[in-house]
Amino acid sequence: MVATTVAVVVATTALTVVQRAAGSSQGDPILESNLKSLCDLSKALRNTHVKTASGPSWRFNELEELQRIQYKLDIYSVINPKSDKGKAAAILSAAASKASAAVTRSGNSLSPLATKAALTAGILSGRINEAVQLFKQAKASNIGSDGLCLSSSSNTPSRLSGEAVGCNSDVPVETAALGATAQFAPNSYSNLDTVADIGTTGGTQNCKLFKPNGAGILSAAVAGSALKFAGGAISASASTTKLEAIDAVTHATQRSSLPAYQAAIKAIHAYDTAAAAKKEVKTLLFEALQDAEVKKLTNGLLDSGYKEETATTAPPPMETKLKKILGDTADDIQTNFLDKIFKEQVIFPKSLNTQHKKNRRLQ
Protein backbone atom coordinates (compact mmCIF):
# COMPACT_ATOMS: atom_id res chain seq x y z
CA MET A 1 0.00 0.00 0.00
CA VAL A 2 2.90 2.34 0.80
CA ALA A 3 4.47 1.70 -2.60
CA THR A 4 1.15 2.32 -4.33
CA THR A 5 0.80 5.62 -2.50
CA VAL A 6 4.33 6.56 -3.55
CA ALA A 7 3.36 5.77 -7.13
CA VAL A 8 0.45 8.20 -7.00
CA VAL A 9 2.67 10.92 -5.51
CA VAL A 10 5.32 10.41 -8.19
CA ALA A 11 2.64 10.46 -10.87
CA THR A 12 1.32 13.75 -9.51
CA THR A 13 4.82 15.18 -9.82
CA ALA A 14 4.80 14.10 -13.46
CA LEU A 15 1.65 16.10 -14.06
CA THR A 16 3.44 19.22 -12.82
CA VAL A 17 6.18 18.60 -15.38
CA VAL A 18 3.58 18.25 -18.12
CA GLN A 19 1.81 21.43 -17.07
CA ARG A 20 5.06 23.37 -17.16
CA ALA A 21 5.84 21.99 -20.60
CA ALA A 22 2.41 22.93 -21.89
CA GLY A 23 2.60 26.42 -20.43
CA SER A 24 -0.84 26.21 -18.83
CA SER A 25 -2.52 24.75 -15.78
CA GLN A 26 -4.42 22.30 -17.95
CA GLY A 27 -1.32 20.36 -18.95
CA ASP A 28 -1.18 17.80 -21.72
CA PRO A 29 -4.44 15.84 -22.19
CA ILE A 30 -2.66 12.70 -23.35
CA LEU A 31 -0.44 12.42 -20.30
CA GLU A 32 -3.17 13.71 -17.98
CA SER A 33 -5.42 10.91 -19.19
CA ASN A 34 -2.73 8.33 -18.49
CA LEU A 35 -2.03 9.93 -15.12
CA LYS A 36 -5.70 9.63 -14.17
CA SER A 37 -5.81 6.05 -15.41
CA LEU A 38 -2.69 5.22 -13.43
CA CYS A 39 -3.99 6.76 -10.21
CA ASP A 40 -7.46 5.26 -10.57
CA LEU A 41 -6.09 1.85 -11.38
CA SER A 42 -3.60 1.94 -8.52
CA LYS A 43 -6.46 2.64 -6.11
CA ALA A 44 -8.61 -0.05 -7.70
CA LEU A 45 -5.83 -2.59 -7.38
CA ARG A 46 -5.28 -1.70 -3.76
CA ASN A 47 -8.96 -2.11 -2.96
CA THR A 48 -9.88 -5.20 -4.95
CA HIS A 49 -7.54 -7.88 -3.70
CA VAL A 50 -8.96 -11.20 -2.55
CA LYS A 51 -7.75 -12.88 0.61
CA THR A 52 -6.36 -16.36 0.13
CA ALA A 53 -4.70 -18.86 2.44
CA SER A 54 -1.29 -17.51 1.40
CA GLY A 55 -2.21 -13.82 1.55
CA PRO A 56 -3.57 -11.20 -0.88
CA SER A 57 -4.13 -12.31 -4.46
CA TRP A 58 -4.44 -9.45 -6.92
CA ARG A 59 -6.83 -9.56 -9.84
CA PHE A 60 -4.88 -10.40 -12.99
CA ASN A 61 -6.86 -8.18 -15.35
CA GLU A 62 -6.22 -5.02 -13.34
CA LEU A 63 -2.52 -5.82 -12.99
CA GLU A 64 -2.24 -6.42 -16.72
CA GLU A 65 -3.93 -3.07 -17.35
CA LEU A 66 -1.47 -1.30 -15.09
CA GLN A 67 1.48 -2.89 -16.85
CA ARG A 68 0.01 -2.00 -20.24
CA ILE A 69 -0.22 1.66 -19.20
CA GLN A 70 3.40 1.51 -18.12
CA TYR A 71 4.42 -0.10 -21.39
CA LYS A 72 2.75 2.67 -23.42
CA LEU A 73 4.43 5.35 -21.33
CA ASP A 74 7.80 3.67 -21.81
CA ILE A 75 7.42 3.75 -25.58
CA TYR A 76 6.48 7.43 -25.42
CA SER A 77 9.46 8.31 -23.23
CA VAL A 78 11.92 6.26 -25.30
CA ILE A 79 10.85 7.90 -28.57
CA ASN A 80 10.93 11.36 -26.95
CA PRO A 81 13.80 11.10 -24.43
CA LYS A 82 14.82 14.77 -24.49
CA SER A 83 11.42 16.46 -24.48
CA ASP A 84 9.62 17.59 -21.33
CA LYS A 85 6.68 15.38 -22.23
CA GLY A 86 9.02 12.43 -22.67
CA LYS A 87 10.52 13.06 -19.25
CA ALA A 88 7.05 13.35 -17.77
CA ALA A 89 6.14 10.03 -19.37
CA ALA A 90 9.27 8.51 -17.84
CA ILE A 91 8.19 9.70 -14.40
CA LEU A 92 4.72 8.27 -14.95
CA SER A 93 6.31 5.02 -16.05
CA ALA A 94 8.39 4.89 -12.88
CA ALA A 95 5.20 5.47 -10.90
CA ALA A 96 3.50 2.65 -12.76
CA SER A 97 6.49 0.44 -12.01
CA LYS A 98 6.19 1.20 -8.30
CA ALA A 99 2.46 0.54 -8.33
CA SER A 100 3.07 -2.71 -10.19
CA ALA A 101 5.73 -3.64 -7.66
CA ALA A 102 3.28 -3.01 -4.83
CA VAL A 103 0.69 -5.19 -6.51
CA THR A 104 2.98 -8.09 -7.41
CA ARG A 105 4.96 -8.01 -4.19
CA SER A 106 5.62 -11.65 -3.42
CA GLY A 107 9.01 -12.52 -2.05
CA ASN A 108 10.05 -8.92 -2.75
CA SER A 109 10.15 -9.27 -6.53
CA LEU A 110 9.09 -6.86 -9.23
CA SER A 111 6.92 -8.15 -12.02
CA PRO A 112 9.08 -9.14 -15.04
CA LEU A 113 7.42 -6.59 -17.31
CA ALA A 114 7.87 -3.77 -14.81
CA THR A 115 11.55 -4.61 -14.41
CA LYS A 116 12.28 -4.89 -18.11
CA ALA A 117 10.30 -1.89 -19.25
CA ALA A 118 11.34 0.65 -16.63
CA LEU A 119 15.08 0.01 -16.67
CA THR A 120 15.37 -0.82 -20.36
CA ALA A 121 13.58 2.34 -21.44
CA GLY A 122 15.68 4.47 -19.11
CA ILE A 123 19.03 3.08 -20.19
CA LEU A 124 18.37 2.71 -23.91
CA SER A 125 17.11 6.28 -24.17
CA GLY A 126 20.24 7.60 -22.47
CA ARG A 127 18.53 8.63 -19.24
CA ILE A 128 21.05 6.69 -17.18
CA ASN A 129 20.63 8.84 -14.09
CA GLU A 130 16.87 8.27 -13.91
CA ALA A 131 17.35 4.54 -14.33
CA VAL A 132 19.94 4.54 -11.56
CA GLN A 133 17.63 6.50 -9.27
CA LEU A 134 14.79 4.07 -9.90
CA PHE A 135 17.19 1.26 -9.05
CA LYS A 136 18.34 2.93 -5.84
CA GLN A 137 14.81 3.79 -4.76
CA ALA A 138 13.68 0.21 -5.24
CA LYS A 139 16.60 -0.99 -3.13
CA ALA A 140 16.16 1.62 -0.41
CA SER A 141 12.41 1.22 -0.06
CA ASN A 142 12.55 -2.59 -0.19
CA ILE A 143 9.83 -2.54 -2.85
CA GLY A 144 11.54 -5.55 -4.34
CA SER A 145 14.60 -5.45 -6.54
CA ASP A 146 15.14 -8.97 -7.84
CA GLY A 147 16.60 -8.59 -11.30
CA LEU A 148 17.35 -4.88 -10.96
CA CYS A 149 20.99 -5.20 -11.84
CA LEU A 150 23.63 -5.85 -14.44
CA SER A 151 26.14 -8.61 -13.91
CA SER A 152 28.88 -10.48 -15.69
CA SER A 153 28.40 -14.18 -16.31
CA SER A 154 31.97 -14.93 -15.26
CA ASN A 155 32.80 -15.47 -11.61
CA THR A 156 34.59 -12.16 -11.08
CA PRO A 157 34.14 -9.26 -8.67
CA SER A 158 31.82 -7.69 -11.23
CA ARG A 159 29.41 -10.58 -10.79
CA LEU A 160 26.63 -9.70 -8.42
CA SER A 161 26.63 -12.20 -5.58
CA GLY A 162 24.04 -12.49 -2.87
CA GLU A 163 21.22 -11.28 -5.12
CA ALA A 164 18.15 -13.31 -5.96
CA VAL A 165 18.19 -15.70 -8.90
CA GLY A 166 17.14 -12.83 -11.16
CA CYS A 167 20.65 -11.42 -11.04
CA ASN A 168 22.65 -14.61 -11.13
CA SER A 169 20.63 -16.60 -13.62
CA ASP A 170 22.83 -18.01 -16.38
CA VAL A 171 19.91 -18.51 -18.75
CA PRO A 172 20.39 -15.86 -21.46
CA VAL A 173 17.63 -14.21 -23.42
CA GLU A 174 19.08 -13.48 -26.84
CA THR A 175 18.94 -9.96 -28.21
CA ALA A 176 20.02 -8.74 -31.61
CA ALA A 177 23.32 -7.06 -32.29
CA LEU A 178 22.47 -3.39 -32.66
CA GLY A 179 25.70 -1.90 -34.07
CA ALA A 180 29.26 -1.24 -32.94
CA THR A 181 29.93 -0.69 -29.24
CA ALA A 182 32.99 1.39 -30.05
CA GLN A 183 30.76 3.99 -31.70
CA PHE A 184 29.23 4.82 -28.33
CA ALA A 185 31.67 7.55 -27.31
CA PRO A 186 32.24 8.36 -23.62
CA ASN A 187 30.88 11.86 -24.21
CA SER A 188 27.70 10.69 -25.91
CA TYR A 189 25.76 11.73 -22.84
CA SER A 190 27.23 14.47 -20.71
CA ASN A 191 25.77 13.02 -17.51
CA LEU A 192 27.72 9.78 -17.81
CA ASP A 193 30.91 9.45 -15.80
CA THR A 194 33.32 7.25 -17.74
CA VAL A 195 35.52 6.49 -14.74
CA ALA A 196 33.37 5.95 -11.67
CA ASP A 197 30.94 3.12 -11.15
CA ILE A 198 27.35 3.97 -11.97
CA GLY A 199 24.54 2.86 -9.73
CA THR A 200 26.64 1.71 -6.77
CA THR A 201 24.55 1.03 -3.69
CA GLY A 202 25.40 0.36 -0.07
CA GLY A 203 25.02 -2.80 1.93
CA THR A 204 26.77 -6.15 1.77
CA GLN A 205 25.72 -6.86 -1.81
CA ASN A 206 27.08 -3.60 -3.27
CA CYS A 207 24.97 -4.16 -6.37
CA LYS A 208 25.99 -2.03 -9.36
CA LEU A 209 24.26 -1.29 -12.61
CA PHE A 210 27.46 -1.27 -14.64
CA LYS A 211 31.02 0.01 -14.69
CA PRO A 212 32.05 2.04 -17.75
CA ASN A 213 35.53 3.00 -18.90
CA GLY A 214 37.22 5.45 -21.24
CA ALA A 215 37.11 3.08 -24.21
CA GLY A 216 33.36 3.41 -24.46
CA ILE A 217 30.38 3.06 -22.19
CA LEU A 218 29.73 -0.55 -21.19
CA SER A 219 32.80 -1.89 -23.01
CA ALA A 220 34.56 -2.90 -19.79
CA ALA A 221 31.51 -4.75 -18.57
CA VAL A 222 31.05 -6.51 -21.90
CA ALA A 223 34.64 -7.54 -22.65
CA GLY A 224 35.32 -11.24 -22.37
CA SER A 225 32.02 -12.36 -20.92
CA ALA A 226 28.28 -12.19 -21.24
CA LEU A 227 26.40 -9.32 -19.68
CA LYS A 228 23.16 -9.86 -17.79
CA PHE A 229 20.63 -7.04 -17.62
CA ALA A 230 17.36 -6.86 -15.70
CA GLY A 231 17.57 -10.36 -14.34
CA GLY A 232 18.53 -11.97 -17.62
CA ALA A 233 16.12 -9.93 -19.72
CA ILE A 234 19.05 -9.06 -21.97
CA SER A 235 22.18 -11.13 -22.49
CA ALA A 236 25.03 -9.72 -24.52
CA SER A 237 28.50 -11.02 -25.34
CA ALA A 238 31.57 -9.17 -26.60
CA SER A 239 32.10 -11.84 -29.25
CA THR A 240 28.54 -12.41 -30.41
CA THR A 241 25.61 -10.27 -29.35
CA LYS A 242 27.15 -7.10 -27.95
CA LEU A 243 25.10 -4.30 -26.53
CA GLU A 244 25.69 -2.36 -29.69
CA ALA A 245 24.45 0.73 -31.49
CA ILE A 246 22.98 2.15 -28.34
CA ASP A 247 24.68 5.24 -29.73
CA ALA A 248 21.94 5.25 -32.38
CA VAL A 249 19.40 6.13 -29.72
CA THR A 250 20.09 9.84 -30.00
CA HIS A 251 18.06 12.94 -30.70
CA ALA A 252 19.58 13.27 -34.18
CA THR A 253 18.68 9.80 -35.42
CA GLN A 254 15.37 9.16 -33.69
CA ARG A 255 13.23 11.22 -36.02
CA SER A 256 14.55 9.56 -39.17
CA SER A 257 14.53 5.89 -38.27
CA LEU A 258 12.95 5.43 -34.82
CA PRO A 259 15.92 3.40 -33.52
CA ALA A 260 14.87 4.10 -29.94
CA TYR A 261 11.56 2.36 -30.44
CA GLN A 262 13.26 -0.44 -32.31
CA ALA A 263 15.69 -0.88 -29.43
CA ALA A 264 12.90 -0.83 -26.86
CA ILE A 265 11.03 -3.56 -28.69
CA LYS A 266 14.20 -5.63 -28.88
CA ALA A 267 15.04 -5.24 -25.22
CA ILE A 268 11.63 -5.51 -23.62
CA HIS A 269 10.53 -8.53 -25.61
CA ALA A 270 13.86 -10.08 -26.64
CA TYR A 271 12.19 -10.26 -30.01
CA ASP A 272 14.94 -10.23 -32.63
CA THR A 273 17.78 -12.54 -33.53
CA ALA A 274 21.22 -11.47 -34.67
CA ALA A 275 20.31 -12.26 -38.28
CA ALA A 276 17.30 -9.95 -38.13
CA ALA A 277 19.48 -6.99 -37.20
CA LYS A 278 20.42 -6.51 -40.85
CA LYS A 279 16.84 -5.90 -41.90
CA GLU A 280 15.61 -2.43 -42.75
CA VAL A 281 14.39 -0.55 -39.67
CA LYS A 282 10.79 -0.09 -40.80
CA THR A 283 10.51 -3.75 -41.76
CA LEU A 284 11.88 -4.77 -38.38
CA LEU A 285 9.44 -2.44 -36.63
CA PHE A 286 6.51 -3.85 -38.54
CA GLU A 287 7.50 -7.42 -37.69
CA ALA A 288 7.88 -6.49 -34.04
CA LEU A 289 4.40 -5.01 -34.05
CA GLN A 290 3.07 -8.32 -35.37
CA ASP A 291 4.58 -10.26 -32.48
CA ALA A 292 1.84 -11.90 -30.42
CA GLU A 293 3.20 -10.62 -27.11
CA VAL A 294 3.51 -7.08 -28.42
CA LYS A 295 -0.07 -7.20 -29.70
CA LYS A 296 -1.26 -8.46 -26.36
CA LEU A 297 0.48 -5.72 -24.40
CA THR A 298 -0.62 -2.93 -26.72
CA ASN A 299 -4.16 -4.28 -26.83
CA GLY A 300 -4.29 -4.50 -30.60
CA LEU A 301 -2.49 -1.37 -31.81
CA LEU A 302 -3.07 -2.52 -35.37
CA ASP A 303 -6.77 -1.79 -35.40
CA SER A 304 -9.33 -2.29 -38.15
CA GLY A 305 -7.45 0.19 -40.33
CA TYR A 306 -5.15 -2.63 -41.36
CA LYS A 307 -6.35 -5.81 -43.03
CA GLU A 308 -4.28 -8.81 -44.10
CA GLU A 309 -4.33 -9.50 -47.81
CA THR A 310 -6.20 -12.59 -49.01
CA ALA A 311 -4.21 -15.71 -49.77
CA THR A 312 -4.69 -15.26 -53.52
CA THR A 313 -3.12 -11.80 -53.49
CA ALA A 314 0.60 -11.25 -53.14
CA PRO A 315 1.14 -9.37 -49.89
CA PRO A 316 2.66 -5.89 -50.23
CA PRO A 317 6.18 -5.22 -48.95
CA MET A 318 6.52 -4.78 -45.21
CA GLU A 319 7.31 -1.10 -45.58
CA THR A 320 4.12 -0.57 -47.59
CA LYS A 321 2.11 -2.27 -44.87
CA LEU A 322 3.73 -0.12 -42.22
CA LYS A 323 3.01 3.07 -44.15
CA LYS A 324 -0.60 1.99 -44.57
CA ILE A 325 -0.92 1.68 -40.81
CA LEU A 326 1.11 4.58 -39.52
CA GLY A 327 1.73 7.16 -42.26
CA ASP A 328 4.01 7.90 -45.20
CA THR A 329 6.94 9.73 -43.65
CA ALA A 330 9.12 9.07 -40.64
CA ASP A 331 7.59 12.03 -38.81
CA ASP A 332 4.08 10.81 -39.64
CA ILE A 333 4.98 7.35 -38.42
CA GLN A 334 6.17 8.76 -35.12
CA THR A 335 3.21 11.09 -34.62
CA ASN A 336 0.48 8.74 -35.78
CA PHE A 337 1.89 5.82 -33.85
CA LEU A 338 1.87 7.79 -30.61
CA ASP A 339 -1.66 8.94 -31.34
CA LYS A 340 -2.73 5.32 -31.76
CA ILE A 341 -1.18 4.48 -28.41
CA PHE A 342 -2.51 7.33 -26.32
CA LYS A 343 -5.89 8.11 -27.86
CA GLU A 344 -7.08 4.74 -26.67
CA GLN A 345 -9.15 5.37 -23.57
CA VAL A 346 -8.52 2.99 -20.72
CA ILE A 347 -11.79 1.44 -19.57
CA PHE A 348 -11.86 -0.22 -16.19
CA PRO A 349 -14.11 -3.22 -15.59
CA LYS A 350 -17.52 -2.15 -14.32
CA SER A 351 -17.47 -5.14 -12.02
CA LEU A 352 -14.68 -3.76 -9.83
CA ASN A 353 -16.83 -2.44 -7.00
CA THR A 354 -19.38 -5.25 -7.30
CA GLN A 355 -16.65 -7.87 -7.25
CA HIS A 356 -15.02 -6.25 -4.26
CA LYS A 357 -18.30 -6.36 -2.33
CA LYS A 358 -18.78 -10.02 -3.24
CA ASN A 359 -15.27 -10.83 -2.04
CA ARG A 360 -15.90 -9.11 1.26
CA ARG A 361 -19.09 -11.11 1.79
CA LEU A 362 -17.17 -14.32 1.15
CA GLN A 363 -14.45 -13.54 3.66
The answer for residues whose C-beta is within 8 angstroms of residue 117's C-beta and 6 or more apart is: 67, 70, 71, 74, 93, 97, 268
243 and 228 Cβ atoms separated by less than 8 Å: no
* Phi/psi of residue 193, nearest 5 degrees: -90, 120
The answer for residues whose C-beta is within 8 angstroms of residue 338's C-beta and 6 or more apart is: 75, 76, 79
* 113 pLDDT higher than 50: no
* Domain around 305: 2-362
pLDDT tens figures, 36-54:
555 554 444 444 443 334 4
Of all residues in the chain, what percent carry a pLDDT higher than 90? Answer: 0
d(CA 217, CA 246): 10
* 203 pLDDT higher than 50: no
Highest mean pLDDT among 49-53, 61-65, 214-218, 220-224: 61-65
Task: Average the pLDDT over each of 55-59, 129-133, 140-144, 156-160 and give the range with the smallest value.
Answer: 156-160
> For residue 195, what pLDDT band results from cuts at 50, 70 and 90?
very low
Query: What pLDDT does 92 receive?
Result: 57
207 and 149 Cβ atoms separated by less than 8 Å: yes
DSSP 23-51: TSTT--HHHHHHHHHHHHHHHHHHH--EE
Which run of H or E residues covers position 84? helix 84-103
122 and 131 Cβ atoms separated by less than 8 Å: yes
pLDDT tens figures, 257-280:
233 333 333 433 332 233 333 343
Highest mean pLDDT among 24-38, 175-189, 202-216: 24-38
For all residues of the chain together, what is the average pLDDT?
A: 39
pLDDT tens figures, 169-188:
332 222 222 222 222 233 33
d(CA 227, CA 211): 12
| Domain count along the chain | 1
Query: What pLDDT does 83 receive?
Result: 59
pLDDT tens figures, 296-310:
433 332 333 333 334
Query: What pLDDT does 266 receive?
Result: 41
> For residue 74, what pLDDT band results from cuts at 50, 70 and 90?
low
d(CA 226, CA 237): 4
The answer for residues whose C-beta is within 8 angstroms of residue 71's C-beta and 6 or more apart is: 113, 117, 268, 297, 298
> For residue 72, what pLDDT band results from cuts at 50, 70 and 90?
low
Q: Compute the radius of gyration of the chain from its Cα atoms.
A: 21
* 73 pLDDT higher than 60: yes
> For residue 69, what pLDDT band results from cuts at 50, 70 and 90?
low
* 70 pLDDT higher than 50: yes
